[in-house]
Structure formats: structure tokens, C-alpha cells
Chains A and B, each alone.
Chain A
Amino acid sequence: MFLTQLVHGLTLGACYALIALGYSMVYGIIGLINFAHGDIYMLGSFFALYLTSVVKMKIAPAFLIAMGLTSLVGLVIERVAYKPLRRSGRLSPLISAIGVSIFLSTLLNMYMGPQTRGFPDVITELQVKLGEIVITTTQLYIVAMSIALMLLLRHIVMRTRVGQAMRACSWDREVASLMGINVDQIIALTFAIGSALAAAAGVMMGVYFNAWWPLMGFSAGIKAFTAAVLGGIGSIPGAMLGGVVLGLVEILGSAYLQSSYRDAISFTILIIVLLVRPSGLLGRKIEQKV
């Protein structure tokens, strides 16, 4: 029983990690609490749903096209809703993000209806049995995907020129631009990558839970925010770790404590973790330079 729950917890954690990765990346670079991230995730999932069920595409190409389309939408959103606000504190873009979130979710609500929709059978589900635990192929895909994307992302940020520019922008945008970095371009790129990651998460989660609905981004956004903060804002391995911890806490909390208190349990643990480590599990310590 415990091992089964553990497997479920890890899978759910990998899902949260997937959403949190893109979130944390955008967050790390422009410091925006992007409440629209969840809705971008919903949109990515929608594209995949449309492509697989209406266009009857296979999942692999649908997955890639969904990521591409979503990153385009991400670019547009950045240009329209965030770029004009780059110099105006941190709460104005936050409200703007809420506007984008309401816009996207009601738009899809209008075109698709509020009903939850299932994905067609796009992945042949096989089961691997290890004693009492049963692991499905989808679960394996999700865990593998989130680890792969984390490594890829970390590679991009730490080892490439673009990543170097991103890190420069995250430390000090003005200095970065003085160094000849095109800050606008880098931020746009960050958004594109972040949105593509959100889409990847959306597709995987949509397939795994077999559910798409216009408001699915709302709770996903909160979970991503929570996972990112728990792991340490801006830290890519932190987002991964935060997601996994959150998933485990949710599953094990509802299995061994009270399932009706699930969210309260996970937030209590979050607050306790933050009190012990005020900048998250893997976050850099905030130094108040005097």
C-alpha cells in the first residue's frame, strides 16, 4: 500500500514539477508571479486535444505542434500584456497576468463549453508489475519527461550563450543591456520557452488524467507557484524538487491523514518549510546587503 501510494505521489509530483519548471524559469528571469501560466498550460493541453481528437493526429507530432503554438501565444501575451509594464514595479504585471488568465479561460469556456473533455486513447497503456506496485507507461513517460526537460532546461540556462544572457538579465537587466545583450529578445525567448514547457505539462497531464476543461489552469497555476516557491524561486532543480515534494505530500497526506484536509496539510508543510528555510529548499539565501 505504501509503495503504491509512493509511486502515485512521485507521478503526481513529476506532473507538478513539469508545470513548475516553466513557471520558475519565467519567474527567475523577470520576477513575475505569472498567474496566467496555468492558463497557458490549459491552452497547450487544448491544442493537443484538438489535434488528436479533431485532426486525428498522433500524439508525438501533436505534442510538438502544441508546444510550438503555445510558445507563439506566450510571445504575443508577453508583448501585449507584460512588456509595456516592465518598468513599473511588480504588482502591475501581476494584475495584468490575472487579466490574461481571465481572458484565456473565458475565451476557451465560450468556444469549447465548460464541460470536461477526455483525450482519445493516444498512448498504448502497458503495465509493469513489481510485486504489489503497478506502474503504467504513462507514469513512466511523465517522470522521464520531467527529468529530461529539467536537465535540458538546466543545460540551456547554465551552458549556452543564451542561458548566460538569461542569467545576466535575471541579475541586473540594465547592466545586461549595457553588456550588449538584447534584453527584450531574451525575455521574449524566456517566455516562449516557459510557455512551451507549460504546454508540455498540459499535454502530459491532460493525457494522464484524461481531462481537459477551460478552468484547469487555475489550480495548476497555484500548484506551480507553490512548487516553485517551495523549491526556491528561480532554481530549476528546486522547481523539480518542490513539485515532487508537493505531489508526495498531497498523496501521502490524503492517504495517511485526512483526505479532506489535503490542501491544508500541504500548505501547512509549505509554511513550516519556509520558516525553517526562508528561501525554499534549494533557493539561494536572500542577503540583505547593507
Chain B
Amino acid sequence: MALLELKEITMQFGGLTAVDHLDLRLEEGVIFGLIGPNGAGKTTVFNLVTGVYKPTSGSIYFKGERIDGKPPYSITAMGISRTFQNIRIFKSLSALDNVKIGRHCKSSMNLFHSVIPGPFTAREERDIEEKSMEYLRMVGLEHKKDILSKNLPYGEQRRLEIARALACEPKILLLDEPAAGMNRQEKTEIMDLVRRIRDTLGVTVFLVEHDMKVVMGVSETVAVLDYGKKICEGTPSQVQSDERVIEAYLGRRARRTRKAV
């Protein structure tokens, strides 16, 4: 049984088909890359998996359970968490608080618990604090825990967002262009981090990325989207040599260039 499976997923916005009869299977423990030219529908796939959008047709299974149509927060609670293309950390909260919010679905204190103190709540709060620090440490931000997250440099904000997503203890982590806007040094660090996440935590990683070097360097399986359709899937080397992929990237670019001229 695949960990995550998309069957015949179609998503239409008005007349525009963003995702077109897409089938994807992610086995547990893989690092799976999804690439494609701009506007190919990669982020839409993430939004479909996390429940932000409800697919026009088709179905999505997670651990064998159908999840499309469920509210996003309960999908997260089942073990799918994500980062965003344009960083969406909680800007005026400290780095530690950001990660603590990631622990939301792994803790259960409700309104009454927070007002009426007890050994259970104290223990849970301590657990949240310790676990959150662990994830901060994992991304190398433990010394910046009290800094407001909006004051962190860009690369650290990205890593903080990953730590926040990990704090949910997901089975599968969706990373939306984690290396965007980073320099080479930072990109290498991110690739290391992704590998470490899978190797030490055993989390399956589902990656959307623009940067070929990053995707090819870290993924075990890569799928290519073009106009919402999957045109190719395989190992990085298989994909890199596929005609259709080259055409989608280069051919289009060539056509576009001609048009612009």
C-alpha cells in the first residue's frame, strides 16, 4: 500500500484546468520530487493534498484512507504537513512559538485545561517545549528561539518553517520550493536537511522544486508535470534524459523566446 496516492485527480478553476487526471503514488520513506515549468500545477497539487482545495474529480488516499474533502486541519492531524512557497511563518511570534504551534495537533489541552492548571497540562506544556526545541535544534536555530521570526534572515525563516512543519510529527512532509531564493551554500544545507529528515525521522518527503540541481540531487523519484498532466516519472537520471521533459522545458522556452522576439 502506498503512503499517499492520487487517483485521477482533476482540478478546474473556472475554465482553466490546473491539474488534469493526475495519478501519483508515494511509497513510504521516499524522497519524491515534483517538477514542472511555471504554472504546471505543482502548488495546486499540494493544495489538493492538504485539503485547501477540493478536487473537481478523482480521489486522494493517505495510508489507505480517503482524504479529499476533509478539512485541512484534520488532514494535518492525520500526518501530512507542509511548508509554503512564499514563506508563511507567524511573523510577530518568536521562533520557538512558531514551532510550538506546529505541536498543535500533537497536544490536546483545550480552553479549560489552559485555565485550570494540573499535572497533566504542566506535563504537556513541558513536552511541547522540549519537542519544539528538538526540532529547532534539528534545523540549527536553537540559539535563536526567542527572536521574533520576522527578524530572522530569509534562509533561517525557511528552515524555521520546516521545523514548524516537522513539529506535527508528520508521516509525510510537503516542501514547496524549499530552496527558492537561496545561495549555493544554503541550497546544500537544505539538501542535507531534507536527507536528514528522511533518514533520522523516517519522514517521507514530497518536494516541489524549481531548482533542478536540488531536485535531482536529493530525490529518489521524480515526476514531471506539464499543463497539469504528468508527462514522466522515474529516477532523476531517467527523467533528465526523457524527450518529453526536455521538450516541456526547453522546447517551450524556445517557443516562448521566438514569440517574444
Contacts and interface: CB of A to CB of B under 8 A. Distances in A.
* A/B contact in complex, CB under 8 angstroms: yes
Interface string A274-290: 00000000000000001
Contact-residue bracket for chain A: under 10
B243 to A, nearest CB: 33
Contacts of A290: 43, 47, 52, 84
A290 B44 CA distance: 9
Contacts of B43: 290
B169 to A, nearest CB: 23
A290 B46 CA distance: 10
Interface string B28-49: 0000000000000001000100
Interface in B52-74: 52
A290 B87 CA distance: 10
Interface in A113-166: none
A80 to B, nearest CB: 28
Interface in A37-87: none
B119 to A, nearest CB: 40
Contact-residue bracket for chain B: under 10
Contacts of B47: 290
B51 to A, nearest CB: 11
Contacts of B84: 290
Interface in B134-177: none
A239 B242 CA distance: 56
A290 B84 CA distance: 7
A290 B208 CA distance: 14
B180 to A, nearest CB: 15
Nearest to B88: A290
A68 B47 CA distance: 52
A290 B47 CA distance: 8
Interface in A212-260: none
Nearest to A288: B52
A290 B72 CA distance: 12
Nearest to A289: B86
B258 to A, nearest CB: 29
A9 B84 CA distance: 50
B90 to A, nearest CB: 16
A290 B43 CA distance: 8
A290 B13 CA distance: 14
A290 to B, nearest CB: 5
A287 to B, nearest CB: 10
B168 to A, nearest CB: 17
Nearest to B86: A289
A141 to B, nearest CB: 43
Nearest to B43: A290
A115 B84 CA distance: 59
B18 to A, nearest CB: 13
B87 to A, nearest CB: 13
Nearest to B52: A290
Contacts of B52: 290
Interface string B71-86: 0000000000000100
Nearest to B176: A290
A103 to B, nearest CB: 31
A288 to B, nearest CB: 8
A284 to B, nearest CB: 14
Nearest to B50: A290
B9 to A, nearest CB: 17
A191 to B, nearest CB: 29
Nearest to B44: A290
A128 B249 CA distance: 71
A290 B83 CA distance: 10
A254 to B, nearest CB: 42
A85 B43 CA distance: 36
4 contacts: A290-B43, A290-B47, A290-B52, A290-B84
Interface of A: 290
A-B complex: 4 closest residue pairs judged by Cβ atoms = A290-B52, A290-B47, A290-B84, A290-B43
